[in-house]
Structure 1
């Protein structure tokens, strides 16, 4: 089991402080304060300092049990930007993301996933085939899709929310990339159709939420639907030149859960699993999800 830290040389992102159920982050030139239920310790900075530094502070409202997101609104200073752009660089990969304040506390990027972007880029570059095919499920605003495309993969990006897919397309264009295949669909239904089509992928990336809805109201509950989805993913994953990444964000899941799922279904030759985390300026590790990634 390993701990994967978000690269500390990322000039456009840092976790300034964390604690008391919140985190204070800098994205480019914007500093945001928002909820983080796993930050149970005391803050390193005073509340007054947080309020002084933050361009916007997220205020929670009662949400919907059918979603793992938190509803709310941003308390913004006049200097706060509604939308802005940040970059991420690794080797020859130069990505750009348009960020924005949403009512779900998200801003358009999960910084802890940068460690996986690097892995995706390196793994694809090492595959001994031209233009490997990669499927990104629950793909959100496309960080993993961009990393795969930057490495030369033929990428299929699947998300159930049209606006999010449009956001991903914008990030692709900002990153000077092209030719990603965009799909607005329910992940379970899409993969089942790919099985029937006998489509084969060299890489599959999954970032499933605990709860969600497909574009036609399809209900996603992680503990009920994940095994079926993984079993179908196994049917469309190349058995020789391939990789798979599974991220689990729900609180309470151990990396061992992810290990048991992937090993029992995919029987990978080699794999690594653990936790993704970001360090704040007090060197405290904020856990932000578990992962397993394997290659054949």
Structure 2
């Protein structure tokens, strides 16, 4: 069954409106206007309403070129937000990067809840969780706060340092930080005979490892999936695969999982989206996830 999922209880985040290749979002007390390539429809709110609400606007369509324009001199370059569900609470430092991102992908909150409930449901006293392509670490911190022994892997040292800042803000400790190409790390863990109760993958369409390794989603994701399923603990496990690629459907993700792990049970697939308060929906990736149940 294909599902459509959106975060429903994150007080520090709100998608206000989207359209004309832009989105208007509130992170904490700040409202940002920035590019969104999938918002191909017209905005619901008027240009005047957007202008009135936005504290900061990213000028430039490209993800690699442009600049943030502040509409008030008191607007900070960095600020913090909180995320919590019924079981965990984490704090995240956000910032205005040169490539339009701010340090978090809000639609992933749906997966954070799945991580929390999975870790909490396991009989293993301290489940081991591996987060690959882990970015600034929200999923890693949620797993840690839920009680997991967490390993965080990303190829960019700066974002791993950012994740460590978020760990400190969240008053957590002992996440294992690894700066390495994700595929190389997985292959090394296989040789070591390691097992994990939870594995999280949020791979980019394109990427580079710390030593120039090249990642292209459609070229490498099958190899990655065949390897990571071998790392899963056979008794208690969960896995989340999330992809943000306009060329990928939930059926592709389903096929990747079932061909790599034919004995999969409780598989759920679907599309993540953000529900704007203006009424429009913004699709932001497809997912596949499964876990053992007691």
TM-score scaled by structure 2? 0.96
Give the alignment of 1:15-30 within 5 angstroms.
15-30=15-30
**Alignment-derived partner of residue 2 in structure 1:** 3
**Alignment-derived partner of residue 111 in structure 1:** 106
**Alignment-derived partner of residue 71 in structure 1:** 65
Question: Deviation at 1:79?
Answer: 3.1
**Alignment-derived partner of residue 199 in structure 1:** 194
Question: Deviation at 1:131?
Answer: 0.5
RMSD over aligned Cα, in angstroms? 1.1
CA contact (8 A) 2:44 2:280 kept: no
**Alignment-derived partner of residue 54 in structure 1:** 54
Q: Following superposition, which runs of at least 4 residues in structure 1 exceed 4 angstroms of deviation?
A: none
Residues in 2 aligned to 1:144 and 1:282: alpha-carbon distance in whole angstroms: 28
CA contact (8 A) 2:154 2:182 kept: yes
1:222 paired with 2:217, answer yes
**Alignment-derived partner of residue 238 in structure 1:** 233
CA contact (8 A) 1:58 1:105 kept: yes
Question: Deviation at 1:72?
Answer: 2.1
Question: Deviation at 1:61?
Answer: 6.0
**Alignment-derived partner of residue 250 in structure 2:** 255
Query: Which consecutive unaligned segments of at least 5 residues does structure 2 have?
Result: none
Residues in 2 aligned to 1:104 and 1:250: alpha-carbon distance in whole angstroms: 17
Residues in 1 aligned to 2:281 and 2:6: alpha-carbon distance in whole angstroms: 9
**Alignment-derived partner of residue 178 in structure 1:** 173
**Alignment-derived partner of residue 85 in structure 1:** 80
Question: Deviation at 1:282?
Answer: 2.1
Question: Deviation at 1:51?
Answer: 2.1
Question: Deviation at 1:49?
Answer: 2.2
**Alignment-derived partner of residue 12 in structure 1:** 12
**Alignment-derived partner of residue 128 in structure 2:** 133
Residues in 1 aligned to 2:196 and 2:11: alpha-carbon distance in whole angstroms: 34
TM-score scaled by structure 1? 0.95
Residues in 1 aligned to 2:160 and 2:200: alpha-carbon distance in whole angstroms: 16
Question: How many aligned positions are there?
Answer: 289
Residues in 2 aligned to 1:32 and 1:148: alpha-carbon distance in whole angstroms: 28
**Alignment-derived partner of residue 65 in structure 1:** none
Residues in 2 aligned to 1:241 and 1:156: alpha-carbon distance in whole angstroms: 17
CA contact (8 A) 1:58 1:72 kept: yes
